[in-house]
Amino acid sequence: MSSKPLSDNTLSPPRLYMAPIRGMTDHIYRNTFADHFNGFDLSVAPFIASPSGSKIRKKYLKGVLPENNKNMPVIPQILSKSADGFILLANRLFELGYETVNWNLGCPYPQVANKQRGSGLLPFTDLIQSFLDNVIPAINGQLSIKTRLGRNTKKEIFALLPILDTYPIEEIIIHPRTGVQMYNGTPDLDAFATCLSLTRHPIVYNGDILTENDFNRLSARFATINRWMIGRGALVNPFLPERIKTGKHKPEGKIKKLKSFHDELFLQYSRILSGPTHILDRMKGLWQYFSQPFSDCKKAVKKIKKAKTPEQYQSLVDEFFNKETA
Protein backbone atom coordinates (compact mmCIF):
# COMPACT_ATOMS: atom_id res chain seq x y z
CA MET A 1 0.00 0.00 0.00
CA SER A 2 1.21 3.54 -0.66
CA SER A 3 2.50 5.60 2.24
CA LYS A 4 0.22 7.89 4.17
CA PRO A 5 0.01 11.52 3.07
CA LEU A 6 2.17 14.04 4.84
CA SER A 7 0.32 16.62 6.90
CA ASP A 8 -0.76 19.68 4.97
CA ASN A 9 -2.10 21.26 8.14
CA THR A 10 1.07 23.36 8.26
CA LEU A 11 -0.62 25.51 5.66
CA SER A 12 -2.43 28.41 7.25
CA PRO A 13 -5.21 29.44 7.10
CA PRO A 14 -7.28 26.34 6.34
CA ARG A 15 -8.67 25.79 2.85
CA LEU A 16 -12.47 26.02 3.00
CA TYR A 17 -14.91 24.63 0.43
CA MET A 18 -18.56 25.60 0.01
CA ALA A 19 -20.51 22.34 -0.12
CA PRO A 20 -22.82 21.54 -3.04
CA ILE A 21 -26.40 21.72 -1.73
CA ARG A 22 -28.88 21.08 -4.50
CA GLY A 23 -31.52 23.79 -4.80
CA MET A 24 -29.49 26.14 -2.59
CA THR A 25 -25.86 26.78 -3.57
CA ASP A 26 -26.40 27.52 -7.26
CA HIS A 27 -24.31 30.10 -9.13
CA ILE A 28 -26.52 32.98 -7.98
CA TYR A 29 -26.09 32.01 -4.34
CA ARG A 30 -22.34 31.40 -4.70
CA ASN A 31 -21.63 34.72 -6.42
CA THR A 32 -23.83 36.69 -4.04
CA PHE A 33 -22.27 35.02 -1.01
CA ALA A 34 -18.78 35.96 -2.25
CA ASP A 35 -19.92 39.57 -2.75
CA HIS A 36 -21.04 39.87 0.88
CA PHE A 37 -18.92 37.46 2.94
CA ASN A 38 -15.39 36.12 3.10
CA GLY A 39 -13.76 32.84 4.06
CA PHE A 40 -14.49 30.34 1.31
CA ASP A 41 -11.62 29.55 -1.04
CA LEU A 42 -13.74 27.67 -3.56
CA SER A 43 -16.97 25.76 -4.01
CA VAL A 44 -18.08 22.46 -5.46
CA ALA A 45 -21.17 22.99 -7.59
CA PRO A 46 -24.32 20.88 -7.15
CA PHE A 47 -24.14 17.93 -9.50
CA ILE A 48 -24.99 17.84 -13.18
CA ALA A 49 -26.20 14.44 -14.36
CA SER A 50 -24.24 13.08 -17.32
CA PRO A 51 -26.19 13.27 -20.60
CA SER A 52 -27.62 10.20 -22.27
CA GLY A 53 -27.02 11.52 -25.77
CA SER A 54 -23.99 12.80 -27.64
CA LYS A 55 -24.72 16.52 -27.44
CA ILE A 56 -24.58 18.97 -24.52
CA ARG A 57 -26.54 22.18 -24.84
CA LYS A 58 -25.07 25.33 -23.35
CA LYS A 59 -28.23 25.81 -21.29
CA TYR A 60 -27.51 22.48 -19.59
CA LEU A 61 -24.24 23.94 -18.26
CA LYS A 62 -25.60 27.34 -17.25
CA GLY A 63 -24.79 26.94 -13.55
CA VAL A 64 -21.11 26.24 -14.20
CA LEU A 65 -20.37 28.47 -17.18
CA PRO A 66 -17.29 30.55 -16.32
CA GLU A 67 -19.11 33.80 -17.10
CA ASN A 68 -21.66 32.87 -14.42
CA ASN A 69 -19.03 32.10 -11.79
CA LYS A 70 -16.76 35.11 -11.62
CA ASN A 71 -16.87 35.71 -7.86
CA MET A 72 -15.91 32.33 -6.44
CA PRO A 73 -13.77 29.54 -7.93
CA VAL A 74 -15.88 26.46 -8.59
CA ILE A 75 -15.32 22.78 -9.30
CA PRO A 76 -18.13 21.28 -11.42
CA GLN A 77 -19.60 18.03 -10.12
CA ILE A 78 -20.92 15.18 -12.25
CA LEU A 79 -23.39 12.47 -11.24
CA SER A 80 -22.94 9.42 -13.45
CA LYS A 81 -22.55 5.68 -13.62
CA SER A 82 -21.84 5.80 -17.36
CA ALA A 83 -18.17 6.20 -18.26
CA ASP A 84 -19.07 7.42 -21.76
CA GLY A 85 -21.50 10.03 -20.46
CA PHE A 86 -19.03 11.21 -17.83
CA ILE A 87 -16.19 11.52 -20.35
CA LEU A 88 -18.36 13.55 -22.73
CA LEU A 89 -19.48 15.99 -20.04
CA ALA A 90 -16.11 16.21 -18.27
CA ASN A 91 -14.23 17.04 -21.46
CA ARG A 92 -16.78 19.70 -22.33
CA LEU A 93 -16.15 21.25 -18.91
CA PHE A 94 -12.40 21.10 -19.47
CA GLU A 95 -12.93 22.89 -22.79
CA LEU A 96 -14.58 25.69 -20.79
CA GLY A 97 -11.36 26.13 -18.84
CA TYR A 98 -11.87 23.96 -15.77
CA GLU A 99 -8.89 21.97 -14.56
CA THR A 100 -10.78 19.60 -12.25
CA VAL A 101 -14.18 17.90 -12.22
CA ASN A 102 -15.67 16.07 -9.27
CA TRP A 103 -17.40 12.68 -9.42
CA ASN A 104 -20.38 12.40 -7.08
CA LEU A 105 -20.14 9.07 -5.26
CA GLY A 106 -22.02 10.29 -2.20
CA CYS A 107 -25.57 11.43 -3.00
CA PRO A 108 -27.74 9.60 -0.43
CA TYR A 109 -31.20 10.21 -1.87
CA PRO A 110 -33.02 6.98 -2.81
CA GLN A 111 -34.15 8.27 -6.22
CA VAL A 112 -30.44 8.57 -7.10
CA ALA A 113 -28.90 5.72 -5.10
CA ASN A 114 -31.45 3.13 -6.18
CA LYS A 115 -30.20 3.61 -9.75
CA GLN A 116 -26.61 2.80 -8.71
CA ARG A 117 -25.58 6.42 -8.84
CA GLY A 118 -24.09 8.52 -6.05
CA SER A 119 -23.74 6.48 -2.84
CA GLY A 120 -25.69 3.68 -4.53
CA LEU A 121 -22.54 2.75 -6.45
CA LEU A 122 -20.34 2.34 -3.37
CA PRO A 123 -21.08 -1.36 -2.71
CA PHE A 124 -19.90 -2.20 -6.24
CA THR A 125 -16.13 -1.72 -6.28
CA ASP A 126 -15.85 -3.68 -9.53
CA LEU A 127 -18.12 -1.16 -11.28
CA ILE A 128 -16.18 1.75 -9.80
CA GLN A 129 -12.90 0.23 -11.03
CA SER A 130 -14.30 -0.32 -14.52
CA PHE A 131 -15.61 3.25 -14.57
CA LEU A 132 -12.23 4.72 -13.56
CA ASP A 133 -10.32 2.45 -15.94
CA ASN A 134 -12.30 3.98 -18.78
CA VAL A 135 -12.60 7.56 -17.55
CA ILE A 136 -9.15 8.48 -16.30
CA PRO A 137 -7.24 7.89 -19.58
CA ALA A 138 -9.96 9.63 -21.59
CA ILE A 139 -10.47 12.91 -19.72
CA ASN A 140 -8.39 16.02 -20.34
CA GLY A 141 -8.03 17.17 -16.75
CA GLN A 142 -8.00 16.16 -13.11
CA LEU A 143 -10.59 14.09 -11.24
CA SER A 144 -11.66 14.49 -7.62
CA ILE A 145 -14.26 12.37 -5.81
CA LYS A 146 -16.91 13.27 -3.24
CA THR A 147 -18.13 10.27 -1.29
CA ARG A 148 -19.49 8.81 1.96
CA LEU A 149 -18.51 5.90 4.17
CA GLY A 150 -20.65 3.66 2.01
CA ARG A 151 -24.22 3.10 0.98
CA ASN A 152 -25.02 0.67 3.80
CA THR A 153 -21.86 0.24 5.87
CA LYS A 154 -18.49 1.86 6.47
CA LYS A 155 -16.79 -1.33 5.31
CA GLU A 156 -17.54 -0.17 1.79
CA ILE A 157 -15.21 2.85 1.98
CA PHE A 158 -12.56 0.75 3.71
CA ALA A 159 -12.59 -1.61 0.73
CA LEU A 160 -12.70 1.21 -1.82
CA LEU A 161 -9.91 3.51 -0.66
CA PRO A 162 -7.00 1.10 -1.35
CA ILE A 163 -8.43 0.64 -4.85
CA LEU A 164 -8.61 4.40 -5.39
CA ASP A 165 -4.95 4.60 -4.39
CA THR A 166 -4.07 2.98 -7.70
CA TYR A 167 -5.54 5.92 -9.65
CA PRO A 168 -4.33 9.55 -10.03
CA ILE A 169 -7.10 11.27 -8.07
CA GLU A 170 -6.62 14.89 -7.06
CA GLU A 171 -8.46 14.64 -3.74
CA ILE A 172 -11.25 12.74 -2.00
CA ILE A 173 -14.00 14.55 -0.10
CA ILE A 174 -15.43 12.26 2.60
CA HIS A 175 -18.66 12.75 4.51
CA PRO A 176 -18.44 10.30 7.44
CA ARG A 177 -21.99 8.99 7.27
CA THR A 178 -23.43 6.20 5.16
CA GLY A 179 -25.95 6.87 2.42
CA VAL A 180 -28.78 5.17 4.29
CA GLN A 181 -28.16 7.51 7.22
CA MET A 182 -28.89 10.49 4.97
CA TYR A 183 -28.12 13.39 7.35
CA ASN A 184 -29.33 11.68 10.52
CA GLY A 185 -27.25 10.64 13.47
CA THR A 186 -23.72 11.87 14.00
CA PRO A 187 -20.67 11.61 11.73
CA ASP A 188 -18.52 8.55 12.48
CA LEU A 189 -15.22 10.23 13.29
CA ASP A 190 -13.49 6.96 14.16
CA ALA A 191 -14.32 5.64 10.68
CA PHE A 192 -13.02 8.88 9.15
CA ALA A 193 -9.77 8.43 11.08
CA THR A 194 -9.47 4.93 9.61
CA CYS A 195 -10.00 6.36 6.13
CA LEU A 196 -6.98 8.63 6.61
CA SER A 197 -4.81 5.58 7.22
CA LEU A 198 -6.01 3.82 4.08
CA THR A 199 -5.14 6.32 1.37
CA ARG A 200 -2.28 8.39 0.01
CA HIS A 201 -4.65 10.91 -1.55
CA PRO A 202 -5.41 14.33 -0.01
CA ILE A 203 -8.65 14.18 1.99
CA VAL A 204 -11.27 16.88 2.52
CA TYR A 205 -13.43 16.53 5.63
CA ASN A 206 -17.15 17.20 5.08
CA GLY A 207 -19.92 16.98 7.65
CA ASP A 208 -21.57 18.93 10.49
CA ILE A 209 -19.22 21.90 10.77
CA LEU A 210 -21.96 24.10 12.15
CA THR A 211 -19.96 26.32 14.53
CA GLU A 212 -16.42 27.51 15.07
CA ASN A 213 -16.20 25.12 18.03
CA ASP A 214 -17.08 22.21 15.71
CA PHE A 215 -14.23 23.19 13.42
CA ASN A 216 -11.74 23.63 16.27
CA ARG A 217 -12.64 20.23 17.71
CA LEU A 218 -12.29 18.49 14.35
CA SER A 219 -9.08 20.24 13.32
CA ALA A 220 -7.53 19.36 16.68
CA ARG A 221 -8.39 15.69 16.20
CA PHE A 222 -7.40 15.46 12.52
CA ALA A 223 -4.08 17.26 12.48
CA THR A 224 -3.19 16.15 8.94
CA ILE A 225 -6.31 17.73 7.44
CA ASN A 226 -6.24 21.27 6.12
CA ARG A 227 -9.15 21.01 3.66
CA TRP A 228 -12.66 21.39 5.01
CA MET A 229 -16.09 21.50 3.38
CA ILE A 230 -18.90 23.49 5.00
CA GLY A 231 -22.54 23.28 3.98
CA ARG A 232 -25.49 23.98 6.29
CA GLY A 233 -23.29 25.76 8.83
CA ALA A 234 -22.56 28.55 6.34
CA LEU A 235 -26.16 28.70 5.10
CA VAL A 236 -27.28 29.36 8.67
CA ASN A 237 -24.34 31.58 9.60
CA PRO A 238 -22.61 33.03 6.53
CA PHE A 239 -20.06 34.70 8.82
CA LEU A 240 -18.76 31.26 9.86
CA PRO A 241 -16.11 30.69 7.13
CA GLU A 242 -14.40 34.02 7.83
CA ARG A 243 -14.60 33.39 11.56
CA ILE A 244 -12.85 30.05 11.07
CA LYS A 245 -10.22 31.63 8.84
CA THR A 246 -9.41 34.62 11.04
CA GLY A 247 -10.64 33.69 14.52
CA LYS A 248 -12.17 37.15 14.68
CA HIS A 249 -15.77 37.96 15.53
CA LYS A 250 -17.29 41.12 14.07
CA PRO A 251 -20.74 41.53 15.62
CA GLU A 252 -21.33 45.10 14.46
CA GLY A 253 -23.60 45.52 11.47
CA LYS A 254 -24.42 41.81 11.17
CA ILE A 255 -28.17 42.28 10.69
CA LYS A 256 -27.64 44.97 8.08
CA LYS A 257 -25.22 42.73 6.21
CA LEU A 258 -27.61 39.77 6.33
CA LYS A 259 -30.42 41.91 4.96
CA SER A 260 -28.20 43.22 2.18
CA PHE A 261 -27.29 39.63 1.30
CA HIS A 262 -30.96 38.59 1.28
CA ASP A 263 -32.03 41.56 -0.82
CA GLU A 264 -29.34 40.93 -3.42
CA LEU A 265 -30.34 37.26 -3.68
CA PHE A 266 -33.96 38.33 -4.12
CA LEU A 267 -32.98 40.78 -6.86
CA GLN A 268 -30.80 38.29 -8.72
CA TYR A 269 -33.35 35.47 -8.58
CA SER A 270 -36.04 37.91 -9.74
CA ARG A 271 -33.95 38.54 -12.84
CA ILE A 272 -33.47 34.91 -13.87
CA LEU A 273 -36.55 33.06 -12.60
CA SER A 274 -39.79 33.29 -14.55
CA GLY A 275 -42.90 34.24 -12.63
CA PRO A 276 -43.54 35.19 -9.00
CA THR A 277 -44.21 31.60 -7.89
CA HIS A 278 -40.70 30.44 -8.80
CA ILE A 279 -39.11 33.47 -7.17
CA LEU A 280 -41.10 33.07 -3.97
CA ASP A 281 -40.47 29.34 -3.77
CA ARG A 282 -36.72 29.86 -4.04
CA MET A 283 -36.60 32.62 -1.44
CA LYS A 284 -38.95 30.90 1.00
CA GLY A 285 -36.79 27.79 0.82
CA LEU A 286 -33.80 29.79 2.02
CA TRP A 287 -35.66 30.87 5.16
CA GLN A 288 -35.20 27.46 6.76
CA TYR A 289 -31.59 28.64 7.12
CA PHE A 290 -32.01 32.45 7.33
CA SER A 291 -34.27 32.13 10.38
CA GLN A 292 -32.10 29.88 12.54
CA PRO A 293 -29.81 32.55 14.06
CA PHE A 294 -32.84 34.49 15.31
CA SER A 295 -34.84 33.67 18.43
CA ASP A 296 -38.63 33.96 18.80
CA CYS A 297 -39.17 34.48 15.08
CA LYS A 298 -41.51 31.61 14.23
CA LYS A 299 -44.58 33.81 13.76
CA ALA A 300 -42.73 36.32 11.58
CA VAL A 301 -41.17 33.60 9.42
CA LYS A 302 -44.55 31.88 9.10
CA LYS A 303 -45.96 35.13 7.69
CA ILE A 304 -43.06 35.43 5.26
CA LYS A 305 -43.64 31.90 4.01
CA LYS A 306 -47.33 32.66 3.44
CA ALA A 307 -46.63 35.71 1.26
CA LYS A 308 -48.61 35.59 -1.99
CA THR A 309 -46.71 38.15 -4.05
CA PRO A 310 -43.08 39.30 -4.28
CA GLU A 311 -44.15 42.73 -3.05
CA GLN A 312 -45.85 41.29 0.03
CA TYR A 313 -42.87 39.02 0.63
CA GLN A 314 -40.37 41.90 0.52
CA SER A 315 -42.54 44.02 2.81
CA LEU A 316 -42.68 41.25 5.41
CA VAL A 317 -38.93 40.66 5.15
CA ASP A 318 -38.26 44.39 5.64
CA GLU A 319 -40.49 44.34 8.71
CA PHE A 320 -38.64 41.30 10.07
CA PHE A 321 -35.16 42.84 9.73
CA ASN A 322 -36.31 46.25 11.00
CA LYS A 323 -37.53 44.63 14.20
CA GLU A 324 -34.26 42.75 14.60
CA THR A 325 -32.23 45.97 14.32
CA ALA A 326 -34.56 47.98 16.58
pLDDT at 9 exceeding the cut of 90:
no
Confidence check: pLDDT of 67 > 50: yes
pLDDT value, residue 251: 64
Q: Is residue 326 very low, low, confident or very high in pLDDT (cuts 50, 70, 90)?
A: low
Residue 183, pLDDT > 50, answer yes
Average pLDDT of span 29-36: 97
Contact criterion met (CB below 8 Å) for 212 and 20: no
What SS3 state is found at 104?
strand
pLDDT above 50 (res 121): yes
Quickly list DSSP for 208-264.
---SHHHHHHHHHH-TT--EEEESHHHHH-TTHHHHHHH-----TTHHHHHHHHHHH
Domain boundaries, the chain: 15-246, 254-325
**Residue 234: closest CA among 44, 7, 3:** 44
In CATH terms, the fold of domain 15-246 is TIM Barrel (3.20.20)
Q: What is the mean pLDDT of residues 149-162?
A: 97
- Give the residue among 141, 139, 103, 144 at the shortest CA–CA distance from 121: 103
- What mean pLDDT comes out for the span 100-128? 97
Looking at the predicted structure, is the pLDDT value of residue 256 above 90?
yes
